Structure 1
Amino acid sequence: MNQLCSVLAIKYPIIQGGMGNISSPKLVAAVSNAGGLGTIGCGTMTPAEVEERIVATQQLTQKPFALNVPINVNPYTKELLQLAITHKVPVVSLSAGNPTLYIEKLHAHHIRVIAVVASVKHAIKAEQGGADVIVAEGYEAAGINSDLELTTFTLIPQVVDAVSVPVIAAGGVGDGRGLAAALMLGAAGVQMGTRFIATQEMPVHQTYKQRLVDATDVETVILGRSVGQVRRVLCSPFTSSLLADEGKGITLADYQERTSETYHIKGAMEGNEQGGFMNSGQIAGIIQDLPTVTTLIETMMDDAQQCLNRTLLNTFQNSVRGVQL
């Protein structure tokens, strides 16, 4: 069995990203029921709001799922982790902050911990702090990202070489080819956010889904470089206006307000591209359809296997051709 699947007690090495306040129990359960690991994103939600989603998810699946807590984003980190303990959530994903402060307590309650990092240095620290799994995220990914801007293709092999726990590749993965590539780089699996948005089970506005289906390779843009808080989103009138204001010298406070979950919900849930934004990774350019989660995951696994088989066959054939008879 794949090492990651063994650690997390899942069938397939495919993890769903957190997605902040638009996280949906329906999607989380669909991913877990299909053999992956669904994830409830806490975003900036209150403990009461998160607890409601935990309970709803548990009513929809008996399979393992995760709770993603963005440490420096949500002011209720300790309360949210207590919810994971109380409701016996089997996996907690920690991002946007130092995960080592919380791992020991979670392990005391037999909860597996995933640490999301964007550099080799942070991966090493997370492993030393006890993380069971590392998600190494390149800046191709959607939403809040690292200002280091390391790409997935360069980051994954370096993190794999630096740690001994399973590494999950995130950012720029949306099909079986991406999964196969991640495995070839040494990762034990992949985490996806944008691709799961474009599925039948994700209850976002249809405009959002259609934008992903119609997206070209240059449909996303980076916000926040001017204030040191990087976020990747779909191009839109709202993001164009915000970029223009960055060019004029936007304040950090104004930027944070205009990229808050309030505007995220306006874009993603209401389909309002004038008044809000839609997170998206660069992988949007390869999205062509809106499958069910089960179809997506099973197709990815089949396609990844075919890619790996072709690679092995080509390697064998080339080595045979090189033999001097």
Structure 2
Amino acid sequence: MSDFSRTSALMERGTDFLGSKYAILCGAMSWVSERGLVSAISNAGGFGVIACGAMTPDLLDTEIAATKALTDKPFGVNLITMHPQLFDLIEVCSKHEVTHVVLAGGIPPKGSVEAIKAFGAKVIVFAPTLALAKKLLRSGGDALVIEGMEAGGHIGPVSTSVLAQEFLPELAEDHLVFVAGGIGRGQAIAGYLEMGAVGVQLGTRFACAQESIAHENFKKAFFRANARDAITSVQVDPRLPVIPVRALKNKGTEEFTAKQIEVAGRLDSGEIEMGEAQLQIEHFWAGALRRAVIDGDVESGSIMAGQSVGMLKEEEPVADIMQKLMTQSEEALSRR
């Protein structure tokens, strides 16, 4: 077994918190972060996270049970805060004694953090600003993920390197902070650990693993792409708050622009309210992503990818990816 003593020492607070061998979380990628990939990541020493996305409580119930059948290692569940059945999904997590729940997509609604902590689970939150991060940590968040705009899927406006410089000096001593966005190699992991992060989160790096159920066409699109192919969606109407999404440019990115115009028109006419408008946008992405990931439609589907996509050239087993990341980090720290 390789000696990753320097990296492991810097990850110690993160691994103690997660209960995993390495403080490397897999980002929750809808349709991709399911039982197969999640269990493979946890079995390889990382921390897999089920992407609940738009799942119903029954579907999540089945997915957690199936994941437990494939691994006896810790894993978490990512819940979208705007999900209309959020509290029912929390109940499902409670039933299965899920140890860690990640709340993503917005400020957690009143009572949600308390409902999760009531059954003994740890709460991981996201925050785009330092002020909000401090508020969420005061309000019961046990750990924080700061995710830069280089990430795939829904993103904020600030780069990972800037967020790390802003958040870590302020928070790292007293809080558990994981860094995400654009991380494709272990050298970057080493750098963020040295800055005070307790671990990292990667999505794109694992999307094309052998254990990923993503369609062959989806994976091939990743292998062909370079960093500049992963572009952000455009907001058409400022009255319709749409969180930008980073994906590989194709016909689907153009169709999203048309969808926004349609939804904005229905909002203007009073046909729907803002909450429904946002849900329709989310459902568009869920459907478009499924077409790409599951059906292999890489023309009109959404190929969500971070800018680290250019570093992916082949399918690899999750265990090999994990070992490469840790080896690269250890070598970088050893040269310091």
Tell me the TM-score normalised to structure 1 length. 0.89
Name which of 228, 233, 236 aligns with 1:223: 233
- Equivalent position of 2:213 in the other structure: 203
Distance apart, 1:70 and its partner CA:
0.8
| Separation (CA, whole Å) in 2 of partners of 1:96 and 1:206 | 29
Residue correspondence of structure 1 range 27-176 to structure 2 within 5 A: 27-72=37-82, 74-99=83-108, 101-146=111-156, 149-163=157-171, 164-176=174-186
Identity of matched residues, %: 30
Question: SS of the counterpart of 2:334?
Answer: helix
CA contact under 8 A between 2:218 and 2:298: conserved in structure 1?
no
Name which of 198, 217, 225 aligns with 1:188: 198
- Equivalent position of 1:8 in the other structure: 18
- Equivalent position of 1:318 in the other structure: none
Distance apart, 1:167 and its partner CA:
0.6
The AA in structure 2 aligned to 1:238 is G
TM-superposition CA deviations, 1:234-264 (whole Å, max 9, x none) = 1112214445x48x95644598177331111
Question: SS of the counterpart of 1:226?
Answer: coil
Distance apart, 1:103 and its partner CA:
2.2
CA contact under 8 A between 2:250 and 2:300: conserved in structure 1?
no
Distance verdict in 2 for CA 1:257–1:42, change over 3 Å: closer
Distance apart, 1:274 and its partner CA:
2.8
CA contact under 8 A between 1:93 and 1:114: conserved in structure 2?
yes
Question: SS of the counterpart of 1:218?
Answer: helix
CA contact under 8 A between 1:104 and 1:130: conserved in structure 2?
yes
Residue correspondence of structure 1 range 11-22 to structure 2 within 5 A: 11-22=21-32
CA contact under 8 A between 1:119 and 1:150: conserved in structure 2?
no
The AA in structure 2 aligned to 1:226 is V
The AA in structure 2 aligned to 1:222 is T
Question: SS of the counterpart of 1:277?
Answer: coil
Task: Name structure 2 gaps, 5 residues minimum.
Answer: 1-8, 265-276
Distance apart, 1:266 and its partner CA:
0.5
CA contact under 8 A between 1:172 and 1:178: conserved in structure 2?
no
| Separation (CA, whole Å) in 1 of partners of 2:143 and 2:188 | 19
- Equivalent position of 1:299 in the other structure: 324
The AA in structure 1 aligned to 2:249 is C
CA contact under 8 A between 1:10 and 1:37: conserved in structure 2?
yes
Distance apart, 1:172 and its partner CA:
0.5
Distance apart, 1:298 and its partner CA:
1.1
State the Cα RMSD in Å: 2.0
- Equivalent position of 1:238 in the other structure: 252
Distance verdict in 2 for CA 1:265–1:302, change over 3 Å: same
User: Are 1:309 and 2:317 counterparts?
Assistant: no
Distance apart, 1:128 and its partner CA:
0.5
Task: Name structure 1 gaps, 5 residues minimum.
Answer: 313-325
- Equivalent position of 2:268 in the other structure: none
The AA in structure 2 aligned to 1:80 is L
| Separation (CA, whole Å) in 2 of partners of 1:58 and 1:263 | 28
The AA in structure 1 aligned to 2:126 is V
- Equivalent position of 1:320 in the other structure: none
- Equivalent position of 1:213 in the other structure: 223
TM-superposition CA deviations, 1:190-225 (whole Å, max 9, x none) = 111111101000001111111112211211111143
CA contact under 8 A between 1:21 and 1:45: conserved in structure 2?
no
| Separation (CA, whole Å) in 2 of partners of 1:156 and 1:84 | 31
| Separation (CA, whole Å) in 2 of partners of 1:242 and 1:47 | 28
Moved more, 281-290 or 58-67: 281-290
Q: Which has the higher contact order (CA 8 A, sep 6+)?
A: 2
The AA in structure 2 aligned to 1:234 is L
